[in-house]
Amino acid sequence: MKTILNRVQNFKSFVYESVYWVENAPEPTIEALLRPRANGQAICSCCMRRRPGYDTLALRRFEFIPLWGIKVFLRYAPRRVNCRTCGIRVERMPWATGKHQLTQAYAWFLSEWARRLSWKEVAQAFRTTWDHVFRSVEMAVAWGLENRDLSGIEAIGVDEIAWKRGHKYLTLVYQIDAGCRRLLWIGQDRKTKTLLRFFWWFGRDRSVQLRLICSDMWKPYLKVIAKKAGHAIHVLDRFHIMSGLSKAIDEVRAQEARTLKSEGYEPVLTNRRWLLLKRAENLTDNQETKLAELLRYNLKSVRSYLLKEEFQFFWSYISPYWAGKFLDKWCTKAMRSQIEPMKKVARQLRRHRPLLLNWFKAKGQYSSGIVEGFNNKAILTTRKSYGFRTYHAAEIALYHALGALPVPKTAHRFF
Ligand SMILES: [Zn+2]
């Protein structure tokens, strides 16, 4: 065991004194006792300088990666140093950080598994606690954020997701450059202030380098982007515009359902469909009358649906000029439809005509599927029962899943 440990986890100024089986432990346990090398001087954990010793604390246990399903602990009595600059401090132990009970190796091991399984599953698989898994991921995210490279960012996408059963929102900013796609930043809420905080963090120098930004039509975002990165091409996201149209259709349908109900028809939305699907010659007289009446209302739902389908053509244009012509025609048609939710969308699209046409200027510079893909993944991550209720835990989970954060080379040794 000692030989193996020296191979896989060797610390320069410390030696394994003994490795032994712990008798009467609640579960099979191995401990490896560490001691400082004979002439090794302790290092202050605060300033990282060699300092004279002060005293020695009681033995502490640090959990290491389990072996054959057996728990493994490093055991060590930390020394305290008398540091000129920092005072009396605990020495630096290369296998641990701060007051953590887990060794760094184990924390990286757990956090890497947490990319593939839910936090709960990781805790179960390695017979540890949810809290230990969370702390490990938290450590990995902190390290990754500190060591990531933020140079060369030219394209970003701004998105929001509902959180906590739709009562709250998170603003997510992604890098969407062809060579690097990842979650860059998370902010609570989706206000003007929220996105301003992003630009404040991102910094002026990096903002100047931005060439492309895509977002949905959410007003605070449009405002902040125009103010902070007016030089970049601002594109309205295809995914968000199409889902805006879908929402409008849902609204039309819901309104119709209410109207029909108030006029004495039963669960219309499903029945209506069925009536429409059934062959006309198979309808009873009564059903036929119902269908005729329904069609009058249903026309709105159907027409909305067709309008949305028609709008798909918009994205296939190559010339912004003709796309603009198409957009104007479509909007006129929608405005004449007498369907309020569709008119609302049309008004919105008209108002943002230049931003919509930017899509053609930016064509080829980014794929419209990226933001949608990230959006789906982000929703999945927050929904997955990680057991987190706090914003902090959600933030950690999102960075871990979508941040493409770097990992130190040593972390790969056990994974
Ligand atoms: Zn010090």
Q: In the block, which residue shows the tokens 């819901």?
A: 254
CA dist., res. 35 & res. 76, Å (int): 6
pLDDT, tens digit (0-9, with 9 covering 90-100), for 138-169: 999 999 999 999 999 999 999 998 877 667 88
Q: Cα of 79 to ligand 1 centre, how many Å?
A: 13
DSSP per residue over 192-247, as a string?
HHHHHHHHHHH-HHHHHT--EEEE-S-HHHHHHHHHH-TTSEEEE-HHHHHHHHHH
Specify the pLDDT at position 274.
Answer: 46
Q: Cα of 96 to ligand 1 centre, how many Å?
A: 17
Tell me the CB-side half-sphere exposure of residue 136, using CA atoms within 13 A. Answer: 29
**Which of 410, 402, 409 lies closest to 141, judged by CA?**
402
Specify the pLDDT at position 249.
Answer: 83
304 CB-near residues (< 8 Å, 6+ apart):
248, 249, 252, 337, 339, 341, 342
Is residue 366 a contact partner of residue 212, using CB atoms and an 8 Å limit?
Answer: yes
Quick one: angle between helices 130-147 and 104-113, nearest 10?
Answer: 100
Q: At 45, is the secondary structure helix, strand, or coil?
A: coil
15 CB neighbour count, 10 Å cutoff: 16
Q: Cα of 75 to ligand 1 centre, how many Å?
A: 24
Which residues in the chain come in under a pLDDT of 50?
273-274, 276-277
Q: Cα of 8 to ligand 1 centre, how many Å?
A: 29
CA dist., res. 225 & res. 195, Å (int): 8
Q: Cα of 392 to ligand 1 centre, how many Å?
A: 31
Q: At 159, is the secondary structure helix, strand, or coil?
A: strand
CA dist., res. 16 & res. 190, Å (int): 53
Q: Cα of 405 to ligand 1 centre, how many Å?
A: 30
Q: Cα of 200 to ligand 1 centre, how many Å?
A: 33
CA dist., res. 204 & res. 207, Å (int): 5
Q: Cα of 46 to ligand 1 centre, how many Å?
A: 5
Q: In the block, which residue shows the tokens 């469909």?
A: 273
Sheet containing 233-236: which strands, arranged edge to edge?
180-188, 168-177, 155-163, 212-215, 233-236
Q: Cα of 11 to ligand 1 centre, how many Å?
A: 21
Is residue 324 a contact partner of residue 311, using CB atoms and an 8 Å limit?
Answer: no
Specify the pLDDT at position 139.
Answer: 93
CA dist., res. 386 & res. 130, Å (int): 9
Taking the CA atoms of the chain, what radius of gyration do you get in angstroms? 30
Give me the torsion for CA of 169, 175, 180, 184, rounded to 10°: -60
389 CB neighbour count, 10 Å cutoff: 9
Specify the pLDDT at position 277.
Answer: 41
Q: Cα of 50 to ligand 1 centre, how many Å?
A: 8
Q: Cα of 32 to ligand 1 centre, how many Å?
A: 28
pLDDT, tens digit (0-9, with 9 covering 90-100), for 231-282: 999 998 888 898 888 888 888 878 887 887 787 765 555 555 445 445 556 7
Q: Cα of 103 to ligand 1 centre, how many Å?
A: 22
Reading the block at residue 205, the tokens are 């120098």
Q: Cα of 100 to ligand 1 centre, how many Å?
A: 20
Q: Cα of 130 to ligand 1 centre, how many Å?
A: 34
Amino acid at 306: L
Q: Cα of 292 to ligand 1 centre, how many Å?
A: 85
Q: Cα of 83 to ligand 1 centre, how many Å?
A: 5
Q: Cα of 51 to ligand 1 centre, how many Å?
A: 7
Q: Against a cut of 0.95, is the pTM above it? A: no
Specify the pLDDT at position 40.
Answer: 84
Q: Cα of 92 to ligand 1 centre, how many Å?
A: 10
Q: Cα of 57 to ligand 1 centre, how many Å?
A: 17
CA dist., res. 404 & res. 287, Å (int): 58
